[in-house]
Structure 1
Amino acid sequence: MAYCCVPDCRSFSRQNKENTSFHKFPQDKDLRKTWIIKIRRDIGPNFQITKNTRVCSKHFSPESFSRTLTGIRKLKDGSVPSVFTWTRHSRERTSMRSQGKCNLEEEREEDESSTNYGPSNEECHATEIPHPDHDYSVESMTSEEQLLAAREEISRLSAENEMLKSQQFGIQNVQHNQKLVQFYTGFPDYDTLKTVFLALQPTAESMASWAQVQRISATNQHTLRLGFQAQHLSLFNQFFMFLCRIRQGLLEQDLAVRFNVSQSTVSRTCVTWANYLYFMLGSLPIWPSRAAVNELMPEHFKSLYPKTRVILDCTEIRVQTASSKVLNSETYSHYKGTTTLKSLVGISPDGSMTFVSSLYTGCISDKEITKSSGILDLLQEGDAVMVDKGFIIKDLLDEIHATLVIPPFLGPSGQFNNEELARTQNIARLRIHIERAIRRIKEFHIFDRVIPLSLAGSVNQLWTVCAILTNFHGPLF
C-alpha cells in the first residue's frame, strides 16, 4: 500500500476510488530538493526519503500530466507539486483579508494546524506500490478521445522527426548553397552532382559491399540484388558522405558524428563506394578519338603542335613508411626524399583528363611507368606526345611510329640558341596545363596527409576515382 507523504493528506492506494496516482521523488538532486521544500518537509529522524516514499497526484496541477496513445496519464519530467491545503488556505485568507474578515489569531491557529498535522513515519515508508515500473493511473477513455490523443501524439512525433532530420548533416543541408556543394563535393553546383548521382542510381541500388560478396555462396547469388545498406543513410547521402571523405579528407570519426552513424558504417560505406565508382567511372570511355581531339584542340596547339594527342606527366603521393626494409626500398622516392606511390596522368590538349594509371611504387622511373601503364597501346601512328625532360621515351614511341614533343636539352655550347629557346618556352606554356590537372586531383584533400597502410587495399581506387571526377568540375582553362 502506498501513502502520500505530504502533510494534511490522507491519500493511500487501498480503496482508491478517485484514481489517484502516487509518484516517486525525482533522481535529480536539485529537483528533489525543490519537492522537499514545496511539501514542507525536513530530512531528519522523522522523515527519510526511500524508494517507497510517494507524493500523490492531488498535489500536482493538471498541466503537470500528459497522456500516452493508450490514454494513460503520466507525470511530465520536471514537474513540481504545487497544490496543498496551506496554499488553498492562503488564498482563502488573502480573499478574507481583502474583505476584512480575518484576524491574526485565526491565521496562527490555521497555520499551526496545517503544519503539525501529517501522516506518521510508517505512512511515509509504504512497502506496497501500485506498479514497480510506472507512476500513472488508468482512466477509461472513449474511442473518440483515444483517436484524438493518437492524432496529437502522431503530430508531435512528426514535428520532432522533422526537427531531428533538419539537425542531421546531409545533402539536404547544403543543396541550396552552391559554395557548400562545391566545398564538400568538388562539383560546381547541385544540379551537376544530382545528374551524376541519378546516372549511378540504377546500379548503385543493387551494389554489394566486399564483405557481402565474400559471404555469398555460388548457390545464393540472388541475394546480391538486396544491395548495400548503411545505417540511417539514404543512397544519396552515402554518395555525399564518400565525397566529403575524399574532397575534404574528413576523418571517419568526424563523419560518424556528422552523419549520426557508427564509425564502422562510415568505413564500410567509403570502401564500398570507392570500389563501386572505380568500376563504374573506370568503364567510361575517357580516351577520345583522334577526330575528337582535333575538333576540340585549342588554336595555340593547332598552330604549334597540331598532332598532339596527349600531354603526360607523373605525380607522387606520400605513403606511410612500412616496417619491411624491402618494401621501403621499393616505395622510396629519391626525387621526393620519402616513401611514395607514383602515377602517370594524361590530358588531351583541351584539358580533359584522358588517362590515369594505377599507382606504382615510388622508385619506378618515368620511362618504366610509361611502358607498364598501357598508354602506348592507346596511341596511334602519327600521334605526338608532349612530355617533360624526364621522359626519355623516344625509343618507345618510335616502335609505334609516334613522335615525342619534349623541351630541347642543353648542347655542348652551354646555352640555347633562339630557336631552342622559343621551343622551350612554347612547350612550357602548353605543358603547364598538365600541372593544373594534377593540382585538381590533389585538391581532393584525402591525399594531403600521409596515406596510411590501412588504405593500401583501396588507395588505387580512390586515386582513379578522384582523377576521373575532375572531368565533372568544368573546363580546365
Structure 2
Amino acid sequence: MTLHEVVSPQQQNRKSKAPTLQMETRCYEAELLLHEHNYSKRLLTVKEQLQVTEKELKRQVLKCEQFFLQRIQCEPEMILFYTGFKDYNTLKAFYLALQPTPETLGSCSHMLQLNNTDDDTVNAGFHTARLCLFDQLFLFLCFVRRGFLPIDVSTQLLVSEEVVQMTWITWCHYLFFMLGPLPIWLSRRSVNELMPPFFRTTFAKTRVVLHLTEIQVQLPTSTVNSSHHKGSTTLKSLIGITPSGSISFVSSFYTAAVSDQDAVRESGILNILEPGDVVMTDKSLEIEDLDVIGVDLVSLNFSGANKLLNEDNVSQTDFDHLKIHMERAISRIKEYHIFDDVVPSVLHSSVNQLWTVCALLTNFQGPLS
C-alpha cells in the first residue's frame, strides 16, 4: 500500500503549506513501512489520520495565540502599556542585568532560609513549562501592571492557575531580592543636581515628598474572624519621592490600627533626614518629630495653599505646578493595577515584597519630564 492510497487530496494540499504536516506525513510513511512486515498492527484509517492532523493543527494555533513578549516587541506603546518600560530594548537590558543565574538563585534561597521562608517558593516558579525566563518576567510585569487574573493567563499558557501563581510569587521574591538592596536614598547633592527648575525657585531645600498609601488585602481563610467580616484588611505604607520623581524610600506595610505618626516613626525615614532638609507632603500628614531633627514640613494640600502663597512668596502658578508634578510622581506607583482592587489572599504573605518591587520598578521609567 502506498502513501497516496491513504492520504486524501485535501491533505496533500495542506501538507505543501504546513511544515508541521510534512513531518506528520513522514511519520505516517515510516509507520506504513513498519506495517509491511508486521501484519499484527492495524493501519490508520483516513478518518483517524485526519483526527491526528486536526489535533496537531489545533495545538499549533493555540501556540500562536499565546501571549508572549515576542508578539509585541516591535510596538513600544504596547511594551509601555503592559510593562511600564518605554520599549523592548530597555526591558531586555533590565532582564539581562537581573536575569536568574545559579549564583543569584543560590543567594536568594539562602536569604529566604535566613528569614524562615520556604525556598521552594522561589525555585519552583522558574521551572514553569512552556515559558522561557524572559517571558516569565514579562508575564509578571503584566500581572502587576495590568492586574491580570491567573485564570486568564493559565488558559493562554495551557497550564494550571497554581503554576501561574507560583511563577508570579517566584518573580516577586526574586526581584525583591535583586532590587531591594539598591541604594535608592539620594544624597543631598544628587537631589540638588536632578531638581526641576521650578523647585529651585520655590523650595530648593526639598529632600523628599512623603506619601502615605493604603491598599486592601484579602485575608487567608484561616485568619478571617468576626473583626474582619469581609475577609480583607487595610494596610498602609509610606513612600518617599524626590523632586525629580524617583522613588527614594519605601516602608513596609502597617495595619490600619497603627497611627500615621507611628507609621512615619517606625518606617525609619527620620533616621536618614538631615538638618536643613525640607519634607513635602501631598496631604495633611503631620510629623511631630521633624522639628527635633531640624527638618521643615511643607504641605501641598489645598488647605495649606494660603500658607504657601503668603508666607513663602509662592505664586499660584508655582503652587499648581508643584502639586501637579507631585501628583504625577505619585500616580506612577498607582499605575500598577494589581493594587486597584483587593489584593488576593494568595499574595498576602508576599504583599510587602510585591509593593516594594512595584515602587522600585517606577525608577526605570526615568525622571518626570
TM-score category, normalised to shorter length: 0.7 to 0.9
1:43-89 deviation digits (Å, cap 9, x = unpaired)? xxxxxxxxxxxxxx99x836459553773328xxxxxxxxxxxxxxx
- Structure 1, unaligned stretches of length 5 or more? 1-19, 21-56, 75-128, 137-158, 215-220, 332-337
| CA distance in 2: counterparts of 1:441 and 1:369, whole angstroms | 19
Alpha-carbon contact 1:255-1:266 (below 8 Å) kept: yes
Q: 1:400 aligns with which of 286, 293, 308?
A: 293
Equivalent in 245, 251, 254 of residue 357 of structure 1: 251
Deviation of 1:454 after TM superposition, in Å, equals 2.9
Instruction: Give the drift of 1:398.
Output: 2.1
* Identity fraction in percent: 46
- Matched with 1:73 is 32
Distance in 1 between residues matched to 2:360 and 2:286, nearest whole Å: 27
1:63–1:455 Cα change, 3 Å: closer
Task: Provide the secondary structure at the position in 2 that maps to 1:196.
Answer: helix
Question: Structure 1 residue 257 and structure 2 residue 148: aligned?
Answer: no
Match of 2:241 among 333, 339, 347: 347
Q: 1:283 to 1:328 in 2, by over 3 A?
A: farther
> Which amino acid letter does the alignment assign opposite residue 317 of structure 1?
I
Corresponding residue of 1:430: 322
1:61 aligns with 2:10: no
2:279 to 366, 385, 392: 385
- Kept in 1, the 8 Å contact 2:123–2:170? The answer is no
Please give the secondary structure, in 2, of the residue aligned with 1:380.
coil
> In the alignment, does 2:324 pair up with 1:324?
no
Deviation at 1:202, TM superposition (A): 5.1
Q: CA RMSD in A?
A: 4.0
Aligned residue number for residue 240 of structure 1: 138
Q: Does 1:450 align with 2:342?
A: yes
Q: Is the 8 A contact 1:319 1:339 kept in 2?
A: yes
SS of the residue corresponding to residue 349 of structure 2 reads coil
| Corresponding position of 1:311 | 209
**For the residues of structure 1 that align with 2:224 and 2:152, how far apart are their CA atoms?**
28
Answer 1 or 2: higher relative contact order, Cα 8 Å, separation at least 6.
2
Looking at structure 2, the residues matched to 432 and 271 of structure 1 have their Cα atoms a distance apart, in angstroms, of: 34
Q: CA deviation at 1:258?
A: 1.9
Task: Give the alignment of 1:265-344 within 5 angstroms.
Answer: 265-320=163-218, 323-326=224-227, 339-344=233-238
Give the corresponding residue for 2:80. 182
Q: CA deviation at 1:226?
A: 11
> Is 1:308–1:349's contact at 8 Å kept on the other side of the alignment?
yes
The reply on whether 1:372 has 2:266 as its aligned counterpart is: yes
Corresponding position: 1:419 with 2:310 = yes
Secondary structure of 2:91 counterpart: helix
After TM superposition, the structure 1 = structure 2 runs for residues 101-250 of structure 1, keeping only pairs within 5 Å, are 130-131=39-40, 134-135=42-43, 166-201=64-99, 203=101, 207=105, 228-250=126-148
TM-score, normalised via structure 2 length = 0.75
> Aligned pair in 2 of structure 1 residues 204, 382: CA closer, same or farther (>3 Å)?
farther
In the alignment, is the contact (CA less than 8 A) between 1:407 and 1:423 conserved in 2?
no
CA distance in 2, matches of 1:205, 1:246: 26
Residue 232 of structure 1: SS of its match in structure 2? coil
| Cα distance change on mapping 1:261 and 1:405 into 2, 3 Å | same
| 1:275 CA drift (Å) | 0.6
> In the TM superposition, what is the alpha-carbon distance from 1:232 to its structure 2 partner?
1.7
Normalization by structure 1: what TM-score? Answer: 0.59
Question: Who is 1:9 aligned against?
Answer: none
1:305: Cα distance to partner? 1.3
Partner in structure 1 of residue 50 of structure 2: none
Q: Hey, which of these two has a bigger chunk of helix by percent?
A: 2
Distance in 2 between residues matched to 1:226 and 1:459, nearest whole Å: 19
Alpha-carbon distance, 1:245 to partner: 0.9
- Alpha carbons 1:343, 1:360 under 8 Å: kept: yes
**Residues matched between the structures, number:** 325
CA contact 1:406–1:427 (8 Å) conserved in 2: no
Whichever of the two has the greater Rg, that structure is: 1
Task: State the secondary structure of the residue aligned to 2:95.
Answer: helix
Task: Classify 1:68/1:183 alpha carbon distance in 2 versus 1 (closer, same or farther; 3 Å).
Answer: same
Cα offsets for 1:103-147 (capped at 9, x unmatched) = xxxxxxxxxxxxxxxxxxxxxxxxxx943x5327xxxxxxxxxxx
**Distance of 1:169 and 1:205 partners within structure 2:** 30
Q: Label 1:359 to 1:427 Cα distance change in 2 as closer, same or farther (>3 A).
A: farther
Distance of 2:323 and 2:308 partners within structure 1? 21
Q: CA deviation at 1:203?
A: 3.9
1:252 Cα deviation (Å)?
0.7
Give the 3-state SS of the residue equivalent to 1:464 in structure 2.
Answer: helix
**What do residues 163-219 of structure 1 show as CA deviations (whole Å, max 9, x unaligned)?**
775443211111111122112212111111001001011547852797xx77xxxxx
**2:125 touches 2:166 (CA, 8 Å); kept in 1?**
no
Report the 3-state secondary structure (helix = DSSP H, G, I; strand = E; otherwise coil) of the residue aligned with 1:457.
helix
Gaps of 5+ in 2: 12-24, 45-56, 114-118
